[in-house]
């Protein structure tokens, strides 16, 4: 059958034998599995229940949830009724939720757990006291989502026929979701995406990934993020089992339990994996340590499809047997594919993971482009490591005179919700969408992204600085957890560095009690000297005007919870600048 709407996935499931682990998540220490037939049954019943509640085409319904099967039931139940799904990050504040509820005039909200209910319920009541609130967990005093599905299962034949008729009337160009971009500054914008936007993207991704029904895919990226949603859809299209990770801290343990064939990630997750692996390598001794870092150096020079010649491939095969096979074992021993996007991926990490037999499928796009604009393929001629690949079918890219990446195609959003002026400003006079990113085309096909247009700055000498490129170089160091490059209108580049304190714990534990590590380690002479040595080392890999001449260490571990990172783990530069303004004044004090 031809897929044109998101909920057509359910009809596609019917063309396959029943799959007992279509959607899975951890509950009370055990993996709870929903079969494809149960998924379809619960979703249809929930759609009947939503219709019985009085919700109609064009209404908005919010979900605030961690990744779990119930999110899918709600998502496609809404889609087949023409209800617009508004998925929201579970890391926001009550005031943020109230703003979104008021802005989109939501009629109902689904919340995953008691902790989130405490944040969302006051926002819902403040915005609209009559708003329907349902929970995915069974919580005393709240309405459980299953009660709505059960009510739907008892609906009349007339109601069912009405719902089916509504489903048939849904057009590919109809709005399916409203996604509020997390952003790194200001209030979020509501991005309207159609069924055509989403379906075109996940069909393109499914073709590139080539997942099989016998595969298992571990879902890490939030489903409320457009990248997580796209990966979720394309995995279902391929009839591949989806296992939702418990939380970010359980990734390694869940991988050992699930043994996935693939997973999705942002670069920060891969950086964490790499840093842990390198830290373990440094703990080795003798010949094992030499072999380990020999393999790392070999991987740093990796080229795909045997381009380095037979002798390199022979050495790589030996490195794989002795070292890289252990890396894969740490990830469950079956991982062969990782979908990666959302931020700039350091080229070194990409090369090393490919050398280790783990294919990083790097892609590029925005919420406004559903998200994929370009993606690397797995075949010769379709892959260029260090790039974000080439355009998907039906999408076009050109580079503006100032270097900005422009895009046209079926992937481009319908517009920003209730903001025609902002929508108009997002397109040039010829209808090309302005991505806000700077880049260039390499080899007539492959897109190279430099940085966000608004984040590139100029030194007082007139030289331009693209901070992401420099940050990626220095984040190759296992000693550096996070780094932010600064220096706009100044004579030289400086940096704020959040060191990877875990890397130094073994050293520091010999000198100070555990309680002192986070507070005092950043002031220790040993740490400052070690980071200074790393800065000197990686300065050699950048141009002279890009070199870090001064830096300051911070003891905070940056995260979405503490405010320095967005929910997709991007730096919130203005927040960091404000938080550490005294340190930055010290750096450039005349």
Report the chain's C-alpha Rg in angstroms.
25
When the candidates are 3.30.300.30, 3.90.940.20, 3.40.50.1860, 3.40.50.10420, the CATH number that belongs to 456-587 is 3.30.300.30
8-192 against 266-453: fold identical: yes
Q: How far is 59 from 105, CA to CA, in rounded Å?
A: 8
Q: Which helix (H) or strand (E) holds 484?
A: strand 480-486
Q: How many CB atoms lie within 10 A of CB 343?
A: 16
What would the CATH number be for the domain defined by 266-453? 3.40.50.12780
Residue located via tokens 């509820």: 101
Q: Which residues of the chain have pLDDT under 70?
A: 182-186, 505-523, 590
Q: What is the pLDDT of residue 516?
A: 44
- Residue 1 pairs in a beta bridge with none
Tokens representing 353 are 């993971």
**Phi-psi label, residue 389: left if phi above 0, alpha if psi -120 to 50, beta otherwise:** left
Exposed, middle or buried, 588 (CB in 10 Å: 0-12/13-18/19+)?
middle
Q: Where are the domains of the chain?
A: 8-192, 266-453, 456-587
Give all strands (DSSP E) within 165-311, no chain letters: 175-180, 190-194, 216-219, 241-244, 262-265
Residue located via tokens 């952003």: 183
When the candidates are 3.30.470.20, 3.30.470.10, 3.40.50.12780, 3.10.100.10, the CATH number that belongs to 8-192 is 3.40.50.12780
Question: How much is the pTM?
Answer: 0.88
Q: How far is 169 from 500, CA to CA, in rounded Å?
A: 54
């Amino acid at each position: 059958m031809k897929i044109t709407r998101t909920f057509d996935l359910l009809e596609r499931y019917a063309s396959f034998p029943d799959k007992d682990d279509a959607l899975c998540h951890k509950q009370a220490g055990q993996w709870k599995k929903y079969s494809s037939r149960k998924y379809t049954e619960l979703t249809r019943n929930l759609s009947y229940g939503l219709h019985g509640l009085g919700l109609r085409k064009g209404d908005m319904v919010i979900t605030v949830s961690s990744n779990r099967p119930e999110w899918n039931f709600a998502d496609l139940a809404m889609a087949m009724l023409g209800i617009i799904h508004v998925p929201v990050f579970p890391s926001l504040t009550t005031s943020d939720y109230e703003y979104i509820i008021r802005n989109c005039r939501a009629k109902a909200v689904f919340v995953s757990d008691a902790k989130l209910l405490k944040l969302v319920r006051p926002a819902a009541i403040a915005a609209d006291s009559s708003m329907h609130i349902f929970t995915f967990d069974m919580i005393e005093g709240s309405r459980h989502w299953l009660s709505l599905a059960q009510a739907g299962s008892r609906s009349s034949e007339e109601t069912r026929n009405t719902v089916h008729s509504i489903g048939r009337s849904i057009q590919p160009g109809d709005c399916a979701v409203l996604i509020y971009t997390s952003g790194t500054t200001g209030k979020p914008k509501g991005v309207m995406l159609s069924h055509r936007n989403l379906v075109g993207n996940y069909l393109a991704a499914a073709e590139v990934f080539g997942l099989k029904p016998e595969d298992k895919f571990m879902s890490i990226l939030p489903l409320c993020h457009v990248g997580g949603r796209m990966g979720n859809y394309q995995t279902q299209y391929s009839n591949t089992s989806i296992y939702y990770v418990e939380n970010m801290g359980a990734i390694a343990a869940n991988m050992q339990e699930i043994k996935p064939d693939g997973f999705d990630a942002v670069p920060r997750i891969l950086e964490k994996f790499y840093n842990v692996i390198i830290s373990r390598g440094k703990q080795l001794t003798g010949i094992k340590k030499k072999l380990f870092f020999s393999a790392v150096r070999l991987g740093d020079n990796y080229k795909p499809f045997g381009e380095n010649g037979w002798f390199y491939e022979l050495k790589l095969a030996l490195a794989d047997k002795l070292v890289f096979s252990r890396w894969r074992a740490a990830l469950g021993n079956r991982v062969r594919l990782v979908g990666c996007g959302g931020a700039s991926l350091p080229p070194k990490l990409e090369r090393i993971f490919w050398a280790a037999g783990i294919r990083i499928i790097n892609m590029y796009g925005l919420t406004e482009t559903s998200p994929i604009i370009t993606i690397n393929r797995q075949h010769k001629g379709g892959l260029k490591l260090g790039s974000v690949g080439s355009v998907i079918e039906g999408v076009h890219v050109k580079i503006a005179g100032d270097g900005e990446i422009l895009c046209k195609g079926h992937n481009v959003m319908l517009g920003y919700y209730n903001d025609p002026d902002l929508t108009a400003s997002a397109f040039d006079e010829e209808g090309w969408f302005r991505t806000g990113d700077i880049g260039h085309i390499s080899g007539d096909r492959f897109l190279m992204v430099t940085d966000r247009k608004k984040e590139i700055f100029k030194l007082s000498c007139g030289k331009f600085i693209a901070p992401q490129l420099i940050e990626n170089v220095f984040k190759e160091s296992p000693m550096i957890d996070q780094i932010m490059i600064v220096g706009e209108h100044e004579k030289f580049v400086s940096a704020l560095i959040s060191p990877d304190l875990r890397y130094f714990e073994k050293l520091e534990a010999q000198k100070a009690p555990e309680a002192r590590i986070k507070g005092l380690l950043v002031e220790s002479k040993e740490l400052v000297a070690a980071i200074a040595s790393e800065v000197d080392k990686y300065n050699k890999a950048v141009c002279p005007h890009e070199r870090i001449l001064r830096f300051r260490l911070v003891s905070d571990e940056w995260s979405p919870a503490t405010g320095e990172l967005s929910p997709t783990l991007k730096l919130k530069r203005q927040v960091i600048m404000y938080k550490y303004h005294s340190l930055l004044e010290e750096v450039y004090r005349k």
